[in-house]
Amino acid sequence: MRRILTLADHSSPPPAPATPLLRVALLGPVTAADADGQCLLPRGRKARAVLAILALASPEPVRRERITALLWSGRSEEQGRASLRQCLHELNNALGPAAGLIAADRSLLGLRGAGLEIVADHATHPLRLAEDLAGIDPAFDQFLAERHQERLHAETVRAEAVLHGHTVPEARLNAALALLALDPTHEGGWRAAMQAHADQGARAEALATFDRCVAALAEAHNVGVVPHNPLSPVSTAACIQLAACIPNFALQEYPLGEHESPKSEIVKSALRCEDGFIIIPDAPGIGVELAEDAAERWPYKPRTVKTRLHRDGSVVDQ
């Protein structure tokens, strides 16, 4: 059996190696590899969970009884400690030379040392922690959920600080998108993204961002999306593409006259309807193509639309 270092052995850590002995990634499926990319994960899920617990706490140690309570909550303390010893033996064998990064005594276990690299950065990889280990034990599932929320909150606060520190529209847009990758329901991020597009003169992108914001907020609150659509076949086609790519689409408003002149003559081919359903087009773009003389035959006529805020804060026509 390879030797497991004790906690006392780490009082004076050796100089950091040029490449890590062990690289542990915790977002998505747990992975462990050496400097050459060789997989060092143990086969057992409980042994992998022990590695994840130690990595999340690193460089601080974890009490043995804490680990047994998370992974063997339905067993006696004696059975849990015996199972933990078996998992440590399996983990030690799988890690090979990197097993020296595990520090252990009768009460504590730790994962630390100059050759250790742990990846758990939600800013670049906003997935859930140890997704492949879900269901091992209810206590462990709750533990992962709590750690995920703690780390996500910390990354969100950091991203908010970055957003508030930028004034240039392009930089604010990038910061807002990074924030929304962490929290798709962050209204401040959506507002900043829409304003950045507007400041750059990209009105269409600002409106599209608003639509995505509405869909994201509705999905988070289990609300169905029903796109308003009083305009033309072009508007209908855009709504259908949105409906096809969001999980909480409910119903599509369909204006009269889509297959009659003049609306039917604006595009080369109108959308098909069958048995009360609109067939999603697979043509490039939004699926329809304007008629070549559409702009000449039906030139744009500006129209003033008066709006007001409804009592719930939404914008409505007068």
Q: How confident is the model at residue 18 (pLDDT cuts 50, 70, 90)?
A: low
Residue 17 has a pLDDT of 52
Residue 122 has a pLDDT of 52
Give the bridge partners for 31, in sequence order.
Answer: 25
CATH of the domain at 308: 3.20.20.120
Give the CA dihedral 309, 315, 317, 318, nearest 10 degrees. Answer: 0
User: Residues 16, 143: one domain?
Assistant: yes
User: Residues 115, 239: one domain?
Assistant: no
Of all helices (H) and strands (E), which one includes residue 57?
helix 45-57
Residue 116 has a pLDDT of 92
Residue 126 has a pLDDT of 53
User: Residues 237, 264: one domain?
Assistant: yes
Q: For the segment 29-72, what is each residue's pLDDT rounded down to a tens digit?
A: 999 999 899 999 999 999 999 999 999 999 999 999 999 999 99
In a domain, 22, yes or no: yes
Q: Tell me how far CA of residue 266 lies from CA of 216, 218, 241, in angstroms.
A: 32, 32, 19
Place of tokens 């991020």: 189
Could you say which DSSP state residue 13 is in?
A: P
In a domain, 209, yes or no: yes
User: Residues 70, 135: one domain?
Assistant: yes
In a domain, 252, yes or no: yes
User: Residues 104, 190: one domain?
Assistant: no
Distance of CA 246 to the CA centre of its chain: 15
In a domain, 185, yes or no: yes
Measured CA angle at 182 (ends 186, 57), to 5 deg: 130
User: Residues 114, 196: one domain?
Assistant: no
Distance CA 217, CA 35 (A): 42
Q: What is the domain extent for residue 196?
A: 167-221
Q: Tell me how far CA of residue 46 lies from CA of 39, 255, 279, 299, in angstroms.
A: 17, 57, 48, 68
Tokens of 140: 């462990």
User: Residues 97, 18: one domain?
Assistant: yes
In a domain, 161, yes or no: no
- Preceding amide of 169 cis, omega within 30: no
Three-state SS for 19-34 is CCCEEEECECCCEEEC
| pTM more than 0.85 | no
Query: How many Cβ atoms are within 10 Å of 38's Cβ, its own excluded?
Result: 9
In a domain, 159, yes or no: no
Q: How confident is the model at residue 305 (pLDDT cuts 50, 70, 90)?
A: confident
User: Residues 45, 132: one domain?
Assistant: yes
User: Residues 208, 269: one domain?
Assistant: no
Distance of CA 62 to the CA centre of its chain: 28
Q: For the segment 168-224, what is each residue's pLDDT rounded down to a tens digit?
A: 999 999 999 988 988 889 999 999 999 999 999 888 888 889 888 988 898 888 898
Work out the average pLDDT over 90-103: 95
Residue 4 has a pLDDT of 39
Q: For the segment 111-166, what is each residue's pLDDT rounded down to a tens digit?
A: 998 899 998 765 555 567 888 999 999 999 999 999 888 888 888 888 899 898 98
Q: Do the Cβ atoms of 88 and 50 come closer than 8 Å?
A: yes
User: Residues 209, 282: one domain?
Assistant: no
Q: Compare 27 and 14 and report the one with higher pLDDT.
A: 27
In a domain, 27, yes or no: yes
Could you say which DSSP state residue 117 is in?
A: E
User: Residues 297, 199: one domain?
Assistant: no
User: Residues 144, 57: one domain?
Assistant: yes
Distance CA 129, CA 147 (A): 8
> One-letter amino acid identity for 3?
R
Domain count within the chain: 3
Tokens of 96: 């090979």
Q: What are 82-89's contacts with CB under 8 Å, separation 24+?
A: 83/46, 84/50, 87/42, 87/44, 87/46, 87/47, 87/50, 88/4, 88/47, 88/50, 89/1
In a domain, 18, yes or no: yes
Q: How confident is the model at residue 230 (pLDDT cuts 50, 70, 90)?
A: confident
Q: For the segment 233-291, what is each residue's pLDDT rounded down to a tens digit?
A: 888 998 898 888 888 899 998 888 888 888 888 899 888 888 989 999 889 988 999 89
CATH of the domain at 85: 1.10.10.10
**Of 221, 243, 261, which residue constitutes the final position of a domain?**
221
Residue 6 has a pLDDT of 39
